[in-house]
Amino acid sequence: MRCKLLFSFLVVSLVGFSSFVGASSLSKVFKKVNPAVVVILTKERGYSSLKPGETVTVTKGGLGSGIVISKDGLVMTSAHVVQVADSVVVRFLDGTMTDAKIIGAAAQADVALLKLDRLPEKLVAAELGDSDDVHIGDEIFVIGAPYGVDHTLTVGYMSGRRKPETVCKPLVPIEFLQTDAAINKGNSGGPMFNKNGKVIGIVSHILSQSGGSEGLGFAVSVNTAKELLLNRDSMWTGLEAYLVSGPLARALNVPQGAGLLIQRVANDSPGEKLGLKPGKIPVQVAGERILIGGDIVLEVQGIPISDDFRETCRIGEKTGGQNRGGIMDMKVLRGGEVVNLAVSN
């Protein structure tokens, strides 16, 4: 009996020691990489109705996370955090803040690249890993600002590798890493690390019935992000649009089967330089709140907008492979007239 008790004590002690060593190691890795994690604060224009036929411009604040990836001030985050932002401010661990510009985005993969306007002293950059080296069951951790609570650490496992179901053949394979680490609003754009502190993913979204974390979180693999943002030119449009077709398209006098109703256009974006006008009249359509009264895009690069996904794929392939310095042209419906717009990207 004494031997059994002694053996049990040794087993419990070893398990406890192993857990202690793991926690201690994670604490050290966290302290090393945490200064490279940043909070992303955005502002964007919106419109609200005071009474029928009357609207007012409002400014909305946005919140996300990001990760510094280079000493020259490059920051990765989620595209949906900054896509229609009029201004972007990055806040560091010590509370200092600096403005940033959006220099690239891949909306289909939900990743974006920022450049800091000013480099703070002792800027810390994280190391990008190889997401192909991470396997289901490996321990990972996430740092971000859930609900604005800065630099929160959550730990979990790699639960799966997912590729989005799409009828389009993407120019670059897009992969999402699934995790059970707690992810909430504000974590978007933050880094997912492997146990050695290398970035393996950029947090994108969760699947949730409650609106909070339910153990189904997804991050864009860092290999996807590197290919789309660092290894090729990526184009940030600064646009948010709503596909109109069928009865709604006819009600808006769209002279073809479908069009893209412009919802928002970010300041100083290619969309604004193109001259696109956003909607300003909030309405409720089939349970969705949209803005009407803005431009309706009919063609992009000579390809008509359609509710046929194959045509949408053609547009994505043509614009997605476009280099900086090329000409972006669109045909839009504005005030009942068809107008041609063009700008160098």
Spatial neighbors of 80 by CB under 8 A, at least 6 apart, are 107, 110, 188, 204
Q: Is 80 a catalytic residue?
A: yes
Two tokens at 110? 């939900």
Find the DSSP H helices in 34-169.
79-82
Dihedral angle sign, alpha carbons of residues 146, 98, 203, 263: positive
Q: Which of 65, 78, 131, 188 is an active site residue?
A: 188
Q: Is 135 a catalytic residue?
A: no
CA distance 163 to 172: 11
Q: Which of 110, 150, 180, 295 is an active site residue?
A: 110
Of 90, 114, 102, nearest in space to 37 by CA: 90
Q: What is the DSSP letter of 237?
A: -
CA distance 151 to 97: 15
- Cβ-based burial of 336 (10 A; exposed 0-12, middle 13-18, buried ≥19): exposed
Of 10, 226, 206, 251, nearest in space to 128 by CA: 226
- Consecutive H or E run containing 283: strand 281-285
Spatial neighbors of 24 by CB under 8 A, at least 6 apart, are none
Two tokens at 205? 């979204």
Other C-beta atoms lying within 10 Å of the C-beta of residue 12 = 10
Q: Which of 80, 86, 159, 204 is an active site residue?
A: 80
- Consecutive H or E run containing 3: helix 2-33
Is residue 293 within 8 Å of 281, Cβ to Cβ? Answer: yes
Q: Is 308 a catalytic residue?
A: no
**Catalytic annotation, residues:** 80, 110, 188
